[in-house]
Amino acid sequence: MNIDTDIDVAITKAVQRLLKQRFAKYRLERVDVRAGEDHTGDPALFIDAHFGLSDTPLDTSLAMENFTEIRETLLKMGEKRFPYVRHHFHEKQAVAKRK
């Protein structure tokens, strides 16, 4: 399969903006976006969000909410590749207790 590895700068900026807004409390340090193939050979976007250590316990529900927001935004921008989002938190990051 011939995979399009080009990523529009607007796509990368939109993803970075959404992650910065959603995870403002958690010291987002870097966002990497690259194109490739998923496990079935379909075109995909691989998004890696890297975080420093934050004093605020992590609300794990943000990850799912954020994925949905990223997917919807990319579709509205005409991006058809499926986004795979990986959050890389500091190994000592505290996690909030579930209610």
What is the domain extent for residue 63? 24-33+52-99
**Does residue 76 fall inside a structural domain?**
yes
**pLDDT tens digits, 10-27:** 999 999 999 999 999 999
**Does residue 77 fall inside a structural domain?**
yes
**Number of structural domains the chain divides into:** 1
**Residue 2: predicted pLDDT:** 46
**Residue 36: predicted pLDDT:** 95
Cα 13–15–17 angle (5° rounding)? 65
**pLDDT tens digits, 29-87:** 999 999 999 999 999 999 999 999 999 999 988 888 889 999 999 999 999 999 999 99
